[in-house]
Structure 1
Amino acid sequence: MPRIIVAEIDSAEQRAVAVDVWRAANAARRRTATEARIRRIQEKLDTAELALLAHYGPRPAGMLVAETYHVDGVPLPGYGHLSMVFVDPAVWGSHVGTEMIRDLQSRGWEGLSVWTRTDNRRAQRLYERTGFTDTSNRSTLRDGEEIMQLAWSLSET
């Protein structure tokens, strides 16, 4: 089994690779990658507080973007939010997502939150495997799909 390496993204080349990982995951979910959405992903990576890129052996395999959690627009020090987590479908099941989240959890956050679609069982299993629990918070996206919030706390691990 190839080794999984997770490192911070620190170059334009790595950001472009992360966009490619996003595109592959997006295509596997049969979601249209519009030019506007691609630009938004690139902007998020360009301005990310923390962006990680995972390799499965030599292959780019996952990307994660995290930022400080905000409550009513006010930053909550010590708490983070996962705004993007994507794994190349060619390596689904290889624990790339788990390793990226565990790397993030080891960086001193007291707690983390993430939103995912309620029908995305693969993502929910990933978050549950890494200690996240359902907060029972739900919302609806512009496209009508329901999303759910999950949270992780250092004090509960």
Structure 2
Amino acid sequence: MTTEFQLRPYRAEDEDEDAAIELWRRTWQQAYPSIDFDARVAWWRERWRSELVPKATIIVAEDANALVGFVTIDRSGYLDQLVVDPAHWGSKLASALVDEAKRLSPDGVTLLVNKDNARAIRFYERNGFAHAGEDVNPTSGRPVLKMRWAP
């Protein structure tokens, strides 16, 4: 794993879409091996195209010209996706992407995180997020924590 990466805006006209979708699939498969994320790729591609790309700012991270992470943040300050290649877990990449989301939404950032994802919860706490309630993910039905960062 190298620790050199560059952040840049997502480019829909390039090959960013395929790389981002594959990174999402691979990362979530690692996080939740009992779920078949291959079967969800068509659904995710549609959601990516119809919900995230048109409504969110997407910042990607590249390492050696390969997409290794991305963050999506909408105008309301909602961070929908923070995805980091498992080979970069534990590096500074995720924090750099969260810092970029904070920069883009200086009045505050909110997110939902699966309650059973202790690693992610600890990460967000270390990055200044506080617990702001509980909910259920409308797509997966999984219990989630609401978290918020306020400047």
Taking structure 1 as the reference length, the TM-score comes to: 0.80
Q: Which residue of 1 is the match for residue 95 of structure 2?
A: 98
How far off its partner does 1:55 sit? Answer: 1.9
Retained in 2: the 8 A contact 1:48–1:65? Answer: no
Q: Which residue of 1 is the match for residue 125 of structure 2?
A: 128
1:132-143 superposed matches below 5 A? 132-135=129-132, 137-141=133-137, 143=140
How far apart, CA to CA, are the structure 2 residues paired with 1:59 and 1:37? 20
Q: Which residue of 1 is the match for residue 73 of structure 2?
A: 66
Residue type at the aligned position of 2:118: R
Kindly tell me the number of residue pairs found equivalent between the two proteins: 143
Q: Which segment drifts farther, 24-33 or 144-153?
A: 24-33
- In structure 2, runs of 5+ residues without a counterpart are none
Q: Which residue of 1 is the match for residue 84 of structure 2?
A: 87
Retained in 2: the 8 A contact 1:19–1:42? Answer: no
TM-superposition CA deviations, 1:59-92 (whole Å, max 9, x none): 32111111122xxxxxxxxxx0101111111221
Q: 1:116 aligns with which of 109, 113, 118?
A: 113
Retained in 1: the 8 A contact 2:72–2:101? Answer: no
How far apart, CA to CA, are the structure 2 residues paired with 1:133 and 1:92? 21
TM-superposition CA deviations, 1:105-149 (whole Å, max 9, x none): 1235211100000111121122112211111x1112354421010
- In structure 1, runs of 5+ residues without a counterpart are 70-79
Question: Identity rate of aligned residues, in percent?
Answer: 21
How far apart, CA to CA, are the structure 1 residues paired with 2:17 and 2:51? 10
Q: Does residue 1:4 correspond to 2:5, yes or no?
A: yes
Higher strand share: 1
How far off its partner does 1:57 sit? Answer: 4.4
Q: Which segment drifts farther, 36-45 or 7-16?
A: 36-45
Q: Please report the RMSD computed on the Cα atoms of aligned residues, expressed in angstroms.
A: 1.9
How far apart, CA to CA, are the structure 2 residues paired with 1:46 and 1:145? 24
Following TM superposition, the consecutive aligned residue runs of length 4 or more in structure 1 with deviations greater than 6 angstroms are none
Q: Which residue of 1 is the match for residue 22 of structure 2?
A: 20
